[in-house]
Amino acid sequence: MIIREWRGRASPSRAEAYPKHFHDTVVPELRHVAGFVGAHLSRRQLDDKVEFLVLTRWESMSAIRAFAGANIDEAVVEPGAVAALTEFDANVRHYEVVENVLP
């Protein structure tokens, strides 16, 4: 399994816009991508911003290529995310899961 990590930041006054976009648009689209396993959306307060951390889980790098295209390190950022965030990572990071612990 591969984890794909991406971060975006929003102003506190717009902090609810990205989670709404993620829930209403991103998740339904991801559910139709072969090899998508799941996702986490987390947030933390920074000094003058709210930072969102998106971790998506994929069966393989091939599944990520089918989703992201040839340049898998380039972030896939939809217009709704661009509108909700003040800044975001242009690139993502990928991690191979070494151990997956479940309850």
| 85 lies in some domain | yes
pLDDT score recorded for residue 68: 94
| 49 lies in some domain | yes
Query: Which residue do the tokens 């800044």 mark?
Result: 87
Residue 42: give the domain boundaries: 2-96
| 103 lies in some domain | no
pLDDT in tens, 42-96: 999 999 999 999 999 999 999 999 999 999 999 999 999 999 999 999 999 999 9
| 57 lies in some domain | yes
CA atoms within 13 A on the CB side of 16: 1
pLDDT in tens, 30-46: 999 999 999 999 999 99
The rounded distance, in Å, linking the Cα atoms of 97 and 78 is 26
Total-model pTM = 0.93
